[in-house]
A and B are shown apart, each in its own frame.
Chain A
Amino acid sequence: MISVRGLKKHYRVHKRPPGLKAALKSLFKREYTTVPAVDGIDFEIKPGERVGFLGPNGAGKTTTLQVLAGLLYPSDGEVRVDGHLPQKREVAFLKKIMLVMGQKQQLLWDLPPSDTFELNRAIYDVPRDEAKKRVDGLIELLQIGDVVNKPTRQLSLGERMKCELAAALVHGPKVLFLDEPTIGLDVSMQVVMRDFIRTYNEQFGATLILTSHYMDDVAALCPRVIVIDKGQLSYDGGLDELVQRVRPEKRVAFRLSAAVPLSALEGLGKVVKNDGAEAVLQVPVEQVNAVVGKALQSLPVKDLTVENPPLEEVMSELFSRSRAEKGKAA
């Protein structure tokens, strides 16, 4: 469905040292430097896949997404989306894709979302009854029946984002580009959005690429992740394997009926937390069974859970590690 080979996107920006003198000088003579936003990445995505783009700010995630959507010309390399070269922006291509940006909105501010739906229906040339069926389905799935006829400016952020999604789906796209779709939403609204996105993907077999700062979004939605750092691909594969690779450890959390001294825990593994009611240990995967067995014998355990370490931690470790490696190589 999507194939990216050797994609590079370099920006030419003018470089200016700080200070007034330099600012005045730059009015007449400018020095330019090339900034590689994306510097040679390759990947393939199959139809119906849900893929998460991860990376720190400025890593090149959004740039990659914009190239895939045809908004930016690649500086080098080849990108194909369902057989199309995105930058040509052919009508057939544009009708297959959609882009939702959490920080930007396309809904008409002073009019109800239903008017934007109708405008998009006409622009995408969708037959009226087909559009009606689809929009009705979206309204039901997103539960926005009572908001689509209120002016957009009166809606809450969550309601507006739901309507943004609906507006972007009026033409029934096969490829969904979601750039931070849950930014600024509260936790319960994030869950609603995630459920909707997953349901849509399952029902229509749409291919989905998501960027998000909320690791929970990625964990809940994307079986496969692509990690981009400094414009380069640093990981492509399953989320679980990524966690395994970066942190081959599990977290064992015990709920305790009585407080235990730190010394009783230290022999079992690395202590992450011990506040009397709960103790959390970090334990190598192969030792989990042994540690759990020992703990049940020696500690007043009410309940226990075994989990992966939080994704945020895994990510920050991955990024700092890749920086350190690059630093060494340089």
Chain B
Amino acid sequence: MGRYLQLLKLQLRTSALLAAQYRWDFLIDGLISLVWAATAIAPLLIVYSGRSQTMIPGWSMNEALVVTGWFILLQAILEGAINPGLQAVVDHIRKGTLDFVLLKPADAQFLVSTSRFQLWRVVSVGTGIAVFFIAFGRMGRAPSPAGLAQATVLLCTATLVLYSMWILIVSTAFYVVKVDNLTYMFSSIFDAARWPSSVFRGVLKAVFTFVIPLALMTTWPAEALLGRLEPVTLVYAIAASLGFAAASRTVWLLSLRRYASAGG
């Protein structure tokens, strides 16, 4: 475990060296992050610009803004920490250099997952947190310590689910070489997480709750911060994230086996 922490530190250092080489990215990423934040908030403003103050059932505009904050935050984690490393797997498979990873005496999933970070995406994390401050500022209150604690747990479960889904998608790269379309599809589905889950009805609601648990990623953490999360939801979130993690690990290992016995 200590060794893996040390490895993570070293991989982060490598990414930091890369980030320092391309320092203009800092400025560009900063700007992009602001544009993303604006485009994430704009639809809310449109929806809430009508006469009624609660267009989304059960959510005032400021409350919905908290959901948007989580969306920005998780998107930053996805694009800064999860996506780059796993994109590397796809490249490895295409170029045949995954062999080098598999020959290393360390877990291959760990090595590829941590191989790249887009560190400038930290700017977007800051933007997400700023949105929380604005939303709570406009509501004139602050999250309770219990709410913060719940939100922290949900941040971990959301990240784990997001990561596991990504691993599941990337594992398909072992079967079909072009996964670009799949990753686009996932990105656009993830886009729906900018809305509180109560906007979805019927089949969509079921899909976004059980198949792709978007509620777990943004709505529940927002509810936690707002202090209205049912504590039992935490249990669901933890169970679901562990389930996803176990499933993705299994699929990853099976895919590696396939690569080893078919490859070449």
Contact = CB atoms under 8 A, between A and B. Distances in A.
Contact of A11 (B104, B111, B264): B264
A264 interface: no
Contact of A119 (B3, B10, B21, B99): B10
Contacts of B260: 71-73, 87
A146 B238 CA distance: 52
Contact of B111 (A66, A87, A98, A123): A123
Contacts of A208: none
Contacts of A97: 103
B95 interface: yes
Interface in A78-110: 87, 89, 91, 94-95, 97-99, 101, 104-106, 108, 110
B103 A94 contact: yes
A137 B79 CA distance: 41
B137 interface: no
Interface in B212-253: none
B18 A111 contact: yes
Contacts of A94: 103-105
Interface string A110-143: 1100010011101111000000000000000000
Interface residues of B, number: 26
Could you say which of A97, A105, A123, A125 has the most chain B C-beta atoms within 10 Å of its C-beta?
A123
B113 to A, nearest CB: 14
A11 B262 contact: yes
Given A94-B105, A123-B104, A71 B263 contact: yes
Contacts of B14: 108, 111, 115, 119
A99 B103 contact: yes
A71 B99 contact: yes
B100 interface: yes
A70 interface: yes
A63 interface: yes
A66 B103 CA distance: 10
A95 B105 CA distance: 7
B175 to A, nearest CB: 13
A37 interface: yes
A69 interface: yes
Contact of A122 (B10, B18, B102): B10
A120 B21 CA distance: 21
Chain A interface, >50% SS class:
mixed
Contacts of A11: 262, 264
B54 interface: no
B97 A73 contact: no
A120 B96 CA distance: 19
B188 interface: no
A7 to B, nearest CB: 14
A231 to B, nearest CB: 13
B106 interface: yes
Question: Looking at chain B's contact residues, is the secondary structure mostly helix, strand, loop, or mixed?
Answer: helix
B261 A73 contact: yes
Nearest to B7: A122
Contacts of B95: 104
A12 B264 CA distance: 12
B181 interface: no
Interface in B118-155: none
Contacts of B6: 122
B4 to A, nearest CB: 10
A122 B3 CA distance: 8
Nearest to A107: B100
A63 B97 CA distance: 15
Given A104-B95, A106-B97, A108-B14, A70 B7 contact: no
B17 interface: yes
B58 to A, nearest CB: 48
Contact of A110 (B21, B96, B100, B103): B21
Given A72-B263, A87-B260, A104 B105 contact: no
A240 to B, nearest CB: 33
A172 to B, nearest CB: 13
Given A87-B260, A122-B6, A125-B3, A101 B99 contact: yes
A36 to B, nearest CB: 13
Nearest to A95: B105
B106 A123 contact: yes
B17 A115 contact: yes
Contacts of B97: 104-106
A283 to B, nearest CB: 44
A91 to B, nearest CB: 4
| Residue in B3, B18, B264 with the greatest tally of chain A CB atoms within 10 Å | B264
Interface of A: 11-12, 37, 62-63, 66, 69-73, 87, 89, 91, 94-95, 97-99, 101, 104-106, 108, 110-111, 115, 118-120, 122-125, 151
14 contacts: A66-B264, A70-B102, A71-B260, A71-B263, A87-B260, A95-B105, A99-B103, A101-B99, A106-B100, A110-B21, A111-B18, A115-B17, A123-B7, A151-B21
Given A69-B99, A122-B10, 19 more contacts: A11-B264, A12-B262, A66-B264, A71-B102, A71-B103, A72-B261, A73-B261, A87-B260, A89-B103, A94-B104, A95-B105, A98-B103, A104-B96, A110-B18, A115-B14, A119-B11, A122-B7, A123-B105, A124-B104
State the 8 A-B residue pairs at the shortest beta-carbon distance, nearest first.
A94-B105, A106-B100, A91-B105, A73-B261, A122-B10, A123-B104, A104-B97, A123-B106
